[in-house]
Amino acid sequence: MHRVLPFLRFSLVIFLLTALACPAFAEDIKTLLNKAKGGDARAQYNLGTMYANGQGVPQDYAEAVKWYRKAADQGYAEAQFNLGFKYFNGQGVPQNYAEAAKWYRKAAEQGDARAQYNLGTMYANGQSVPQDYAEAVKWYRKAADQGYSEAQYNLGFKYFTGQGVPKDYVQSYFWYSLAASRSSGEDHKKFSDARDQAAKKLTPEKLKEAQRMTREWEKAHPK
């Protein structure tokens, strides 16, 4: 008798499970499509994401944009963010920074941290909006207050360089430290190195103050 190798046995199981699941999966897509066509914003967003990622349907950015727009027009923040992202990167639509900023803003005003961060970056770089460091700081802070590490890092950088805010190494260390504590891999090293550079600018007393601020914020905002 031939022995089935573990890998082949595993592959066979996956194949059978996939085959059995396909009819149900197809039915789920049909149900989702009907809901989306009926105006359900969440279904429209989910369908857009399936097209964006090629999950159960052919990857089609234009179709993703179509469904994201329907949900975004109903005020669905995640769809607004994703639509902004598609415009920013030119996926499914011609690249258009003004449209990206428009949709990022709508999502940002609803509290979406990713949109707040991206909108802040557009102000920092002057992409379709006037370059305005103070406005960048405003949006970075909103995302940073939600624990968004990239925004915390950028806010730390603004305090370190004095762009849009008075130069303040205590605040810089504080935000860099929070960013480092909420990141991993290369980002963690980058954020930690920045924190250490800010620490070199501080007296021992100021460093203790910044560390105390960090501990208090972490305690009030558990991960």
Both tokens of 66, joined, read 């179509």
d(CA 213, CA 220): 11
Give the N- to C-terminal CA distance of the chain in Å, as an integer.
Answer: 55
209 within 8 A of 217, measured Cβ to Cβ: no
At residue 27, the pLDDT reads 62
Q: Quote the pLDDT of residue 26.
A: 64
Nearest to 140 by CA among 115, 160, 162: 115
Neighbours of 76 (CB within 10 A): 22
DSSP result, 101-121 = HHHHHHHHHTT-HHHHHHHHH
How far apart CA 169 and CA 208 sit, in angstroms, is: 12
SS3 content of the chain, % helix, strand, coil (to 5): 75, 0, 25
What does the DSSP 8-state code read for residue 4? P
Amino acid at 54: G
Distance, in Å, from the CA atom of 177 to the CA atom of 139, rounded to the nearest integer, reads: 19
User: For residues 32 and 24, what is the distance between their CA atoms, to the nearest angstrom?
Assistant: 12
pLDDT tens, per residue, the chain with 223 residues = 334 344 334 343 333 334 334 455 566 889 999 999 999 999 999 999 999 999 999 999 999 999 999 999 999 999 999 999 999 999 999 999 999 999 999 999 999 999 999 999 999 999 999 999 999 999 999 999 999 999 999 999 999 999 999 999 999 999 999 999 999 999 999 999 999 999 999 999 999 999 999 999 999 998 8
Q: How many CB atoms lie within 10 A of CB 23?
A: 9
